[in-house]
Chain A
Amino acid sequence: MSILRQHAEHQFAEELHEIAKSDTRQRPPNWKLSPWAVATYILGGKLDNGFEVSPKYIGNRRIIEIAIATLTTDRALLLLGVPGTAKTWVAEHLAAAATGDSTMLVQGTAGTSEDSIRYGWNYARLLAEGPSLNALVATPVMRAMREGKIARVEELTRIPADVQDTLITILSEKTLPIPELGDEVQATKGFNLIATANNRDKGVNELSSALKRRFNTVVLPVPANLEEEVDIVQRRVESLGRALELPAEPPALEEIRRVVTVFRELRNGITADGKTKLKSPTGSLSTAEAISVINSGLALAGHFGDGQLRANEVAAGLVGAVVKDPVQDRVVWLEYLETVVKERNGWKDFYRACRHLSE
C-alpha cells in the first residue's frame, strides 16, 4: 500500500461494516447508518456483539449529537472553532459514517471561484458540441446533490464573500439552476452540507448573515482540561518528532505541561488555580501551536543545544507564539510574566528565560 493517507471510509471500513451489521434503528433516507450508530462511530464504544469501536473524537458527547441531529434535518452544519480543534476531522468522519463517502470536498481558499462550487465547463466540448450536460463539469457539491450525499466545504471563511453566497440557493432551495441549459439539478434526499471555519483567525471573510442563517452552528471547543491537552500534545509531538527525525530526545512531560499551562491560562484569561484573571493575547493559542512550540524547541535543542529540551529553548518559541501583535500582546505577555510566572514555584528558570527574550 503506497497511499500516504486513506479516506476515512476506507481506513475504518471494518468498523463501519460491523456497526452497520448491528444497527437496527431507523435510518434517514440515503444514510448508511442510523444517527445513533453514527454517534457510536464517532465517539467510540462497544457494540452488542462485543466489537470495539475506536473513538474518533474525544470530547463532549452533546456536541456530536447536535451535529448529527442537524444533518438529519435538512439544515446545513457549520463547524466553528479555533485552529486545531479537529473540525475537518469531525466533518470527514461524519460524512463517511452517514453516507459512506467523504470525498465530496471543496477546499475553500482565497482563490475559490463560483465554478468550483456550482459547475464548470469543459471548454473543448463546449466549443465542439455547444452547451450540453456533457460539456458540464460537475463539482463535488453538484455530485452530492445528485447522489444524495454529504458535501464538505473546508475553510468556508477563506472563500471570498460573493462566492460564499452561491451556497444560499443550494441550501435554501436545495436546487442548483443551470441557466445556460435552462435546466437545474435538484437535490436527492440525504443531501446535506458540512462547512468548517475558523472563528479566531485574522483575514477571514465573515459570513453574510443571509448565509449564516442557513447553517446550524456548532462550536468545537478547545480541550476541556489540562490533562487532556497535555496528552494530545505529547502524542502529536512524539509522532511528529519521529516523522521529522529530530535528533533531540523526546521532551520531558514537565516541559510540555509548562507550555500547555501557559497556553491554557492565557487563552482562558484565568490562571489554572482560578485565582487570578489575565488578559488574553490576540492570537488563537491553539493546541496545534503548543505542539509546534515544543517541536521547534526540540529542533533547537537537537541542533544547537545538548539535545535536552530546557526552558531556554521553549521560551524562544513561546514568546513568538504568544506575542503576535508587537504592541498589545507584549503588554499582555509582560503582565503575565510579572504577575503569574514570577511568583510560581519552580518556574524561576522559565521566568528568567522569557524575561531575557522579552526585554
Chain B
Amino acid sequence: MSLHIFGIRHHGPGSARSLRRALEALAPDCLLVEGPPEAAKVLPLLMHEAMQPPVALLLYVADKPELAVYYPFAVFSPEWQALHYALQQNVPARFMDLPQTHRLAEWSARQAEAEAAKQQEPTNAPTNLPEENGEAEATVETAEGEPMNAEPTVNECLPFRVDPIGALAQAAGYSDSERWWEHLVEHRRDSQDLFAAILEAMTALRNDLPSVDEKSELQREAFMRQTIRAAEGEGYQRIAVVCGAWHAPALVETSSAKTDAALLKGLPKIKVEATWVPWTYGRLTYASGYGAGIPSPGWYDHLWHSPDRVAIRWLANVARLLREEDLDASPAAIIEAARLAETLAALRQHPLPGLAELNEATQTVFCFGDDAPMRLIGRKLIVSERLGKVPDDTPMVPLAKDLLREQKRLRLMPEATEKTLAFDLRKPTDLERSHLLHRLNLLSLGWGKTERVYGRKGTFNETWRLQWQPEFSIKLIEAGIYGNTIEAAATARVKEQVNGQVDLPQLTAMLDATLLADLPEAVKALMTRLQNEAALTGDVAHLMGALPPLANVLRYGNVRQTDTAAVAQVVEGMVTRICISLPLACASLADEAAEAMFKLLMETNSAIQLLDNEAQLAEWRKVLARMAEQENLHGLLAGRCCRVLLDGGVLLSEEAARRMGLALSLANEPAKAAAWVEGFLKGSGLLLLHDDKLWQTLDAWVTQLHSDAFAELLPLLRRTFATFAKAERRQMGERVKRGADEKTPVFIGSNEFDSERADSILPLVAQLLGLKVE
C-alpha cells in the first residue's frame, strides 16, 4: 500500500500539467481530491461531452439558496485534470474535504445568531457588524470555495494559505508565481520528485509561520485524514491525494484516528444540494472577489494550451486581437515585440519572458506606448471572456428553485399560452408580482412584457402580457452565475452592466427599470456611475434628459430605501453642470435643434421647479436671464427664457413687454421674431386666458403698437395664435372685447351651487389625495 500526496496550486497550469503527468506515471487505483463529498452525485457529469470549463461546482442549502459555496474549475485547474484522468481511466475518485453539510450549517447558524443580535438592539447603527464578521470568516475558511454573499476580505495570514506557492516564488524573487513554477517544473524530468519537494517546502513554510489553530481548519484536515484512512481500509494499493499545497504536510503527519474522530464529533448538519453551473474566466480573477482568484486566467489558459513557443504564440494572439479592432499589428511588429520581451527577460535574468515582459513589449511595440489598447488586451486576452457550459441534464440550479418558490408564493404560474394580467400596484401581492417580472426582465428573461393601456390612467395600474418560453430554463442556468435568488441575480446583473460601457441616456433608462424592479443595491451602484458619467459628459442634452426622472425620484421618493442623499448630490451636480454649459450649448442652433432644445429646456425647468431648492432655482434663473440677452440665441429659446422668468417673477410685466417689443422690432428678421413669440407663448393658449399677468403683458405690448406696425406684425403673431384651439381663440376675442379693466369673470355663484352633487364627488377626491374618510 502506498500513499502519494500531490500538493498543488489551485488553478495553476504548471501544477495541472505535472500532476497529470505524475498521475499517468503512477496509475493510482484510487484518487482523493480536496473538495466537497456532497458533489459525488454530479461528478460523472464532468465527462459529459457538453461540459465545457470554466464551470463551478455549486453547493447550496436546499431551502436557503443564498447560502452557497462555489468551487470553480478551469481546464487548467489541477483538480479538474486529476478528476478527468480518474474518470477516464475508471479509477474511483472521491472528494475528501469536510462536507459542506457541516460548514454551511455552521455558517447558517452564525447568520441566525447575528440576525438575532440585530433584532435585540434594533436601533443602534453598527448592528450589522456581527453579520459581516461572520461572513468574512466564512470567506477565510473556504479559500477555494467562495461563499457568494461574502465581501472579499483581506486577512493578514491569508496570502500564504491561499497561494503558498506564490509565497515561495516571492521569496525566490519572482513577481509571477506561475512563471516561477513553470521555470521549476517544466525543466524537470520526473515530476514525482517535484511533489516531494513541494511537500518539504510546505512543511518548512508551515513550521515557520504561526500554527493555525482555527478549529475549522483543523477539522478539515482531520476529515481529509479520515477519508484517506477509509480508502486505505478498503484495500486500495496506490492512493493518490490531490490537495492544496498548504494542506499537504498535514495529511502525512501522524495523528491518531481517535483524535481526528473526536475533533469531528457532533458537527451541525444541514441539507445541502450540489450541481454544476457555468462560470467565466472573469469570475476566476481576484477582482471578482474570489478568494483563491488568479490575476490572469486567459494567460493561464494560453499556457495550458500552448505546447511550445509560448511567448510568440501569445504575441501572435495579441496581434490578431488588435487587427480585429482595426489597429495596426504586422508580423514584423510581432518579431520586434518578441525580441524586446526576450531582451527584457535577459535583463531581469529570467530564462523566458513572462506575462510582465510580454505586456511591456506589447505596449512599447504594438501600441506605441499607449495604454488604451492594453486595457482591451487585458480584458479580452489576459482575463478572457470565455464562458463555460454545463450539460442540459444538470440538476436544477438554486435560481430556478427560487423562481419556482416565488411563483408559488405569488400564485403566478408559468404557462406557454399568452395571458394578460392587470396589476393594481397598491396591493402588496400585485406589487411583488410586478417586481418579480421586472427583475426577470433585467435578467433578460422576458416572461412578461408591460403593456401601455390607454384610457386607464394612474401610475398604480400596470398591465402585463405573460408567456413562458421553454428556453427560459436554460437562461436561468446561465443567469445562475449572478446569484442564487432572483433578487440577488438581478442586482448583480445590473451592477455588471453598470460597470460596462454605457452612456448617460442608457443609464437613465436602466435606472428606471431598476427602480421598477425595486433593487436598492443596484440603484446605489447606478447612482455612483451616473454621477461619474454626468461629470464626464460633454453633451448637455444628455444631462438635461437625465435630470427629470431623477428629480421625480427625489421629489416623490418612489425609490424604496434608496439613499436620497446620494440622489440629491447627483442632482445638485447635474443642475450645476447644466447651468454652466447651457448657454454655450444653446448658441447658434438650427431650427430643428432649437425645437429639441426647447423641449429639454421645458422639462429641465419643470424638474428644477419640482426640486424646489432655492439656491438651484436662483442659479437656474440667473442662467436663463443671461441667455435671454444672448445675441446668437434662437428666438424660440430666447422667448421661452423670457417667459420662464416672467412666470418666476424675476421679470416684471413691463419689462417682459419691453423685451417682447424689442424682439418684435422691425429691425429683426421676421422669422426670428416669429420664433420668439412662438417660444414665449407656445402651448399656453388656455394659460393666456387665465393668467392675468401674461395677458396684461401681451395686451400692454399690443396696445402701444402703432397701427402700421401692428399690421406688419400681425402675420408673425398669427403664426403662434393659429396653433391655439378654436374655442380658446374665441374666448380671447371675447376677453379683448370686454376690455382690459374687467377681471376674469367668476361663474360660480353661491346661489347656483349644488352642494348635494358636490358632496358626491368628495370621496373620490379624498381617495385621489390619499386621505382617509370616515
Q: How far, in Å, is A329 (CB) from chain B's closest CB?
A: 12
Q: B559-603 CB contact bits vs A (8 Å, 1 = yes)?
A: 000000000000001001100110010000000000000000000
**Contact of A213 with B340 in the complex, beta carbons under 8 Å:** no
**Contact of B538 with A213 in the complex, beta carbons under 8 Å:** no
**Contact of B330 with A213 in the complex, beta carbons under 8 Å:** yes
Any A CB within 8 A of the CB of B186: no
Partner of A72 from B332, B343, B538 at Cβ < 8 Å: B343
Interface range, B side: 20 to 34
**Contact of A339 with B535 in the complex, beta carbons under 8 Å:** yes
CB-nearest residue of chain B to A278: B535
**Contact of A73 with B343 in the complex, beta carbons under 8 Å:** yes
**Contact of B340 with A69 in the complex, beta carbons under 8 Å:** yes
Partner of A35 from B336, B347, B577 at Cβ < 8 Å: B347
Q: Given that A216-B336, A338-B576 are known contacts, is A65 also in contact with B369, CB under 8 Å in the complex?
A: no
Partner of A327 from B333, B364, B584 at Cβ < 8 Å: B584
- Number of A residues near B (Cβ < 8 Å) is 34
**Contact of B347 with A69 in the complex, beta carbons under 8 Å:** yes
Partner of B340 from A36, A66, A80 at Cβ < 8 Å: A66
Residue numbers in B under 8 Å from A73 (CB-CB)? 336, 339-340, 343
Inter-chain CA distance A82–B10, complex, in Å, is 43
* 8 A Cβ contacts from B459-492 to A: none
Any A CB within 8 A of the CB of B370: yes
CB-nearest residue of chain A to B356: A62
Inter-chain CA distance A327–B580, complex, in Å, is 12
Inter-chain CA distance A72–B328, complex, in Å, is 25
Q: Given that A65-B348, A66-B364, A216-B364 are known contacts, is A339 also in contact with B370, CB under 8 Å in the complex?
A: no
Residue numbers in B under 8 Å from A212 (CB-CB)? 368
Q: How far, in Å, is B613 (CB) from chain A's closest CB?
A: 15
Inter-chain CA distance A339–B581, complex, in Å, is 13
Residue numbers in A under 8 Å from B573 (CB-CB)? 339
**Contact of B577 with A70 in the complex, beta carbons under 8 Å:** no
Inter-chain CA distance A212–B336, complex, in Å, is 13
**Contact of A276 with B340 in the complex, beta carbons under 8 Å:** no
Partner of A216 from B328, B340, B533, B535 at Cβ < 8 Å: B340
Residue numbers in B under 8 Å from A70 (CB-CB)? 340, 343, 364
**Contact of A335 with B580 in the complex, beta carbons under 8 Å:** yes
Interface of B is mostly: helix
Q: A77-113 CB contact bits vs B (8 Å, 1 = yes)?
A: 0101000000000000000000000000000000000
Q: How far, in Å, is B77 (CB) from chain A's closest CB?
A: 30
Any B CB within 8 A of the CB of A217: yes
Q: How far, in Å, is A278 (CB) from chain B's closest CB?
A: 6
Inter-chain CA distance A66–B533, complex, in Å, is 35
Inter-chain CA distance A75–B330, complex, in Å, is 16
Any B CB within 8 A of the CB of A334: yes
Q: How far, in Å, is A186 (CB) from chain B's closest CB?
A: 21
Residue numbers in B under 8 Å from A209 (CB-CB)? 328
Q: A26-57 CB contact bits vs B (8 Å, 1 = yes)?
A: 00000000011001000000000000000000
Any A CB within 8 A of the CB of B498: no
CB-nearest residue of chain A to B583: A331
**Contact of B343 with A69 in the complex, beta carbons under 8 Å:** yes
Inter-chain CA distance A218–B346, complex, in Å, is 19
Any A CB within 8 A of the CB of B250: no
Residue numbers in B under 8 Å from A335 (CB-CB)? 535, 576-577, 580-581
Residue numbers in A under 8 Å from B255 (CB-CB)? none
Inter-chain CA distance A199–B344, complex, in Å, is 25
* Most chain B C-beta atoms within 10 Å of own C-beta, residue among A36, A69, A70, A199: A69
Q: B343-371 CB contact bits vs A (8 Å, 1 = yes)?
A: 11011100000001000110011011111
Any B CB within 8 A of the CB of A219: yes
- The 7 closest A-B CB pairs, nearest first, are A217-B369, A219-B369, A277-B535, A69-B343, A277-B532, A217-B368, A69-B344
Listed in ascending order, the chain A residues whose CB lies under 8 Å from chain B are: 35-36, 39, 62, 65-66, 68-70, 72-73, 75, 78, 80, 199, 209, 212-213, 215-219, 269, 276-279, 327, 331, 334-335, 338-339
Given contacts A66-B361, A212-B368, 20 further A-B contacts (CB under 8 A): A62-B356, A65-B347, A66-B340, A69-B344, A70-B343, A72-B347, A73-B336, A78-B369, A217-B364, A217-B367, A218-B369, A219-B369, A219-B371, A276-B535, A277-B532, A277-B536, A327-B584, A331-B584, A338-B576, A339-B576
A-B contact pairs, 14 of them (CB 8 A): A36-B347, A69-B347, A73-B343, A75-B336, A199-B369, A217-B368, A218-B364, A276-B535, A277-B532, A277-B535, A279-B538, A331-B580, A339-B573, A339-B576
